[in-house]
């Protein structure tokens, strides 16, 4: 969603406690690096100020979001060995009432890291919708303390107040209600989908039709643009045809 790319800014990141400013929530970003020496301003992760299972790292997505997973790392440091070995995940709409991801009647505990650099990805069994997400460390490496870097996986929900989205939204009255879109509308719709879900979509220009119109394809995948060994072929939707209105 943008922890690593800074699309999520520092003001959207919060924590229960911090060890010092240089290990604050704003440093809890996937693949962020520490300097050669321990630094009071720019260190290699978020570290809690206390060692207990009540600590958390929180992300405010600023709008309703479909959260689908978490990627975690330990603290980047030449001198310390700190990483979280297991954690819970909680979601909220208002930052006051929280829902913990569950496995039946029990809270779901995700397996974290075994060392500090290799990212570990956990996908939720069922996507959770909310504005806020908290990672709640439950255990950590015994030779270190509660420290982590993270990326949040997910996709913003459609904004009902966004006119641009509403204009391209398709509504149906029954299961057989098919609608025609102009070439321009289809390109706009692809852009809307890509803007809403940049982590799982990618748009390609694949040439031109016999009418001279550009052909576009949108890839829907957990890692668009990358083919992983053993992965099924990602879904592609291709649009490009002669517009009867001449657009």
Per-residue model confidence as pLDDT tens digits over 76-110: 998 899 999 999 999 999 999 999 999 888 999 99
Closest among 50, 48, 115 to 77, alpha carbons compared: 115
SS3 call for 101: coil
Question: DSSP string spanning 116-184?
Answer: SSS-EEEEEEEEEEEEEEEEEEEEE-TTS-SEEEEEEEEEEPP-TT-HHHHHH----SSTT------HH
Question: Would you call 241 exposed, middle or buried from its count of C-beta atoms within 10 A (0-12, 13-18, 19+)?
Answer: middle
* Cβ(192)–Cβ(164) below 8 Å: yes
Per-residue model confidence as pLDDT tens digits over 15-42: 999 999 999 999 999 999 987 776 667 8
Specify the pLDDT at position 85.
98
Per-residue model confidence as pLDDT tens digits over 172-231: 455 544 455 576 777 777 777 888 788 888 887 777 776 777 777 888 877 777 766 655
Over residues 53-76, mean pLDDT: 97
Specify the pLDDT at position 56.
98
Specify the pLDDT at position 242.
44
Q: Does position 170 have pLDDT exceeding 60, yes or no? A: no
What pTM was estimated for this model as a whole? Answer: 0.65
Domains within the chain, CATH numbers bracketed: 10-156 (2.60.120.260), 163-239 (no CATH)
The fraction of the chain above a pLDDT of 90, given in percent, is 57
Specify the pLDDT at position 190.
77
């Amino acid at each position: 969603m943008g922890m690593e790319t800074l699309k999520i800014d520092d003001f959207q990141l919060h924590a229960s406690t911090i060890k010092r400013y240089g290990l604050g929530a704003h440093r809890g970003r996937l693949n962020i690096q520490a300097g050669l020496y321990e630094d009071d301003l720019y260190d290699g992760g978020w570290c809690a100020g206390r060692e207990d299972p009540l600590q958390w790292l929180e992300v405010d997505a600023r709008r309703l979001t479909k959260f689908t997973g978490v990627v975690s790392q330990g603290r980047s440091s030449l001198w310390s060995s700190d990483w979280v070995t297991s954690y819970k995940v909680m979601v909220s709409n208002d930052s006051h009432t929280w829902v913990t991801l569950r496995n039946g009647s029990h809270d779901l505990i995700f397996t974290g890291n075994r060392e500090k650099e290799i990212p570990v990805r956990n996908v939720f069994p069922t996507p959770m919708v909310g504005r806020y997400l908290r990672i709640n460390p439950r255990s950590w490496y015994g030779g270190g303390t509660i420290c982590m870097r993270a990326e949040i996986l997910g996709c913003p929900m459609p904004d009902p107040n966004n006119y641009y989205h509403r204009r391209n939204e398709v509504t149906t009255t029954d299961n057989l209600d098919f609608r025609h879109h102009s070439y321009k509308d289809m390109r706009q719709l692809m852009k809307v989908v890509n803007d809403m879900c940049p982590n799982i979509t990618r748009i390609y220009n694949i040439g031109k039709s016999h009418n001279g119109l550009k052909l576009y394809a949108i890839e829907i995948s957990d890692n668009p643009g990358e083919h992983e060994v053993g992965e099924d072929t990602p879904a592609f939707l291709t649009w490009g045809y002669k517009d009867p209105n001449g657009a």
